[in-house]
């Protein structure tokens, strides 16, 4: 009996201890993912997660979107009170005898969020540095070539500090690209001065098999000759052979041939340099060659040609960088090696072909956040917006601007330069604008309007509403949807005060435009028209 009694007392004691511990430990869903504390005013954000309201306000004010434990990034563009969860938390506190949670102090939450921002920035910088080291490992150092035809540098201005915060979750982050994936220079015939006058054999290019190492050796022998005429003949024939022969492009793109080709990219003879650069463009058209060409150390030479090369050489250099930038693994390396500034200069003052290829190269390079930051550090936002008024390149430049609008720093820089007015003017232009260009303009405006009260003032000043309605009438479904979102945001209240309460039931039923705002004792529908 005594033993049984002891056993019974042990069981009772264990049960009480376990119950007390369980009751005092709040469920994980009651804790804010940012502050890790019991929520006093839980709100559901647009992406579906629940946070403490003060934490959401701090993140909005600091322009920070944290990466959660599951790898997702929340969207703080709208918040709805989670009354069911708040009731459950208060009920749990009552049952367990715990104190009801009080709203956290703003400054305390700000310290937590800033610590998260610093941690995120350190991780991102570490990742970028590691990625750059890996990508640049195979890029050989190349002394700058002493070429003629130097041009003015793009003067850096309006420098902005970089930020490694996560990119905001916004719609239409990837603009349309209704252009060919081959450089413009590839579709044009060569000028007689740099190719045909040197060709003695006008027969079709030789068909080279993937195992034709003898032909590869023949090119290398001529390209490394001290005889300039031999060099010219070699690169002209290489250019002809690789223009249409896909098999030859793969077979000839060896390390030894690329090394020989690099030497000719530095040539002071126009025919040699131009045809060598054009041959490199042809080789770069094959996906399997793109990384190999970058790792062979050709990019610094292409950049030098963009800066100081002959005019037709610059056209092909812009085309080569565009082609190489199509490969994701090359984007960061090309930016690190310094291609952005020469491409911007070529976009501003090059020939028609080089401007088009420079714009598309910049579009693909700015798909990477590090290159977007570099573009803004160069103070190039104002230059890009000014080029939207140049009908020759506007359709391509708007793609670059759309990429910049996908990150917080880009949106700030664009609105500082009054991008809204430039984009609205492009939509309003009397000159014909393609449907894809209109769609990309509207997508960029929609990105700029994301969570921005400043956008409303700029849009009003630019007369955006009327232009957008006209665009929507004849635009695609995607354009109409983006216009609808922009106009809904513009019809909202110009600013949200702490005393205002949103009728979320109306929002969920009919959208933001039908929300009613109650301030103090007054109650009325917001009927602001724009």
- Helices assigned H by DSSP within 267-393: 270-284, 287-295, 299-308, 311-325, 328-336, 340-349, 352-365, 369-377, 381-387
Residue 149: what pLDDT? 34
Q: Compute the chain's Rg from CA coordinates.
A: 30
pLDDT computed for residue 119 by the predictor: 78
Number of neighbouring beta carbons within 10 Å of residue 109: 22
pLDDT on residue 29: 87
Q: In angstroms, rounded to a whole number, what is the distance separating the alpha carbons of residues 319 and 122?
A: 35
The per-residue pLDDT for 530 is 30
- pLDDT 10s per residue in the chain (530 long)? 444 444 444 443 333 333 434 457 888 889 999 988 999 999 988 777 899 999 999 998 888 888 888 778 888 877 888 888 898 899 999 888 888 899 999 888 988 988 888 877 666 555 545 545 554 554 444 444 333 333 333 333 333 333 333 333 334 444 555 555 667 766 544 443 343 333 333 333 444 343 345 567 888 988 888 999 999 999 999 999 999 889 999 999 988 999 999 999 999 999 999 999 999 999 999 999 999 999 989 999 999 999 999 999 999 999 999 999 999 989 999 998 899 999 999 999 999 999 999 999 999 999 999 999 999 899 899 999 999 988 899 999 999 999 999 888 888 999 899 989 999 999 888 777 788 888 899 899 988 887 778 888 898 888 888 888 888 888 788 888 888 888 888 876 544 443 444 444 443 444 433 333 333 333 333 333 33
CB distance 337 to 139 below 8 Å: yes
Domain residue spans of the chain = 28-108, 391-492
The Cα-based distances of 529 to 205, 263, 523, 526 in angstroms read 66, 65, 18, 9
- pLDDT confidence of residue 453: 81
pLDDT at 280: 94
CA of residue 221 relative to chain centroid, distance = 43
Among 1.25.10.10, 3.40.50.1980, 1.10.3080.10, 3.40.605.10, name the CATH number for the domain at 391-492.
1.25.10.10
At how many degrees (to 10) do helices 228-244 and 255-265 cross?
Answer: 120
User: Which pLDDT score is estimated for 462?
Assistant: 87
Considering only the top CATH level, what class is 28-108?
A: alpha beta
Judge contact between 301 and 267, C-beta under 8 A.
no
Are the beta carbons of 298 and 262 closer than 8 angstroms? yes
Neighbouring CB atoms inside 10 A of 426's CB total 25
Task: Name 517's bridge partners.
Answer: 502, 524
In eight-state DSSP terms, residue 520 is: T
Which two structure tokens, joined as six digits, stand for 396? 């391509």
Residue in 240, 287, 290, 230 with CA at minimum distance from that of residue 260: 230
- Name the CA dihedral angle for 308, 314, 320, 323, rounded to a multiple of 10 degrees: 120
Q: Write the burial class of residue 499 (CB in 10 Å: 0-12 exposed, 13-18 middle, 19+ buried).
A: exposed
**pLDDT at site 433:** 77
Q: Six-digit token pair at 528?
A: 């602001």
289, 298 Cβ separation under 8 angstroms: no
Q: How many residues make up the chain in this entry?
A: 530
Alpha helices in 378-463 (DSSP H): 381-387, 394-404, 408-416, 419-428, 435-448, 453-462
DSSP 29: G
pLDDT on residue 499: 40
User: Helix 408-416 to helix 394-404 angle, to the nearest 10 degrees?
Assistant: 130
Q: How far apart are CA 294 and CA 333, in angstroms?
A: 8
* Residue 177, both tokens: 């690209």
Residue 523 DSSP label:
E
pTM over 0.75: no
């Amino acid at each position: 009996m005594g033993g049984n009694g002891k056993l019974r007392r042990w069981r009772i004691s264990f049960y009480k201890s376990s119950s007390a511990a369980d009751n005092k430990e709040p469920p994980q869903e009651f804790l804010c993912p940012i502050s890790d504390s019991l929520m006093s005013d839980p709100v559901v954000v647009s992406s579906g997660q629940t946070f403490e309201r003060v934490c959401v306000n701090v993140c909005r004010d600091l322009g920070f979107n944290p990466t959660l434990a599951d790898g997702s990034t929340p969207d703080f563009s709208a918040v709805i009170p989670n009354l069911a969860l708040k009731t459950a938390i208060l009920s749990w506190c009552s049952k367990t005898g715990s104190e009801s949670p009080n709203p956290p102090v703003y400054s305390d939450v700000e310290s937590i969020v800033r610590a998260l921002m610093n941690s995120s920035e350190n991780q991102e910088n570490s990742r970028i540095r590691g990625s750059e080291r890996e990508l640049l490992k195979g890029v050989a150092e190349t002394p700058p070539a002493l070429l003629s035809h130097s041009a003015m540098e793009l003067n850096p201005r309006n420098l902005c500090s970089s930020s490694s915060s996560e990119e905001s979750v916004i719609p239409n982050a990837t603009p349309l690209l209704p252009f060919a994936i081959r450089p413009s220079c590839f579709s044009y015939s060569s000028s007689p001065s740099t190719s045909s006058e040197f060709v003695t054999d006008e027969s079709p290019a030789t068909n080279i098999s993937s195992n034709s190492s003898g032909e590869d050796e023949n090119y290398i022998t001529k390209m490394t000759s001290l005889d300039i005429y031999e060099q010219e003949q070699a690169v002209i024939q290489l250019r002809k052979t690789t223009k249409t022969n896909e098999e030859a492009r793969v077979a000839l793109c060896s390390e030894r041939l690329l090394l020989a080709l690099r030497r000719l990219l530095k040539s002071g003879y126009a025919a040699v340099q131009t045809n060598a650069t054009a041959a490199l463009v042809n080789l770069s058209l094959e996906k399997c060659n793109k990384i190999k060409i970058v790792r062979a150390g050709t990019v610094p030479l292409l950049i030098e040609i963009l800066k100081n090369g002959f005019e037709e050489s610059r056209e092909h250099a812009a085309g080569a960088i565009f082609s190489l930038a199509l490969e994701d693994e090359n984007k960061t390396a090309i930016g690190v090696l310094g291609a952005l500034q020469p491409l911007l200069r070529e976009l501003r003052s090059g020939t028609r072909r080089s401007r088009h290829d420079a714009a598309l190269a910049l579009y693909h390079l700015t798909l990477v956040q590090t290159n977007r930051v570099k573009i803004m550090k160069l103070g190039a936002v104002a230059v890009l917006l000014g080029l939207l008024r140049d009908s020759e390149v506007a359709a391509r430049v708007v793609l670059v601007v759309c990429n910049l609008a996908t990150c917080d720093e880009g949106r700030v820089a664009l609105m500082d330069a009054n991008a809204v007015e430039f984009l609205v003017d492009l939509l309003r232009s009397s000159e014909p604008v393609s449907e894809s260009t209109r769609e990309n303009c509207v997508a960029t405006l929609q990105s700029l309007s994301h969570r921005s009260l400043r956008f409303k003032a700029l849009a009003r000043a630019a007369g955006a509403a009327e232009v957008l309605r006209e665009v929507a009438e004849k635009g695609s479904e995607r354009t109409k949807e983006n216009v609808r979102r922009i106009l809904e945001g513009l019809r909202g209240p110009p600013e949200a005060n702490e005393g205002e309460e949103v009728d979320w039931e109306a929002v969920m039923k009919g959208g933001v435009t039908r929300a009613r705002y109650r301030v103090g004792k007054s109650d009325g529908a917001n009927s602001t028209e724009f």
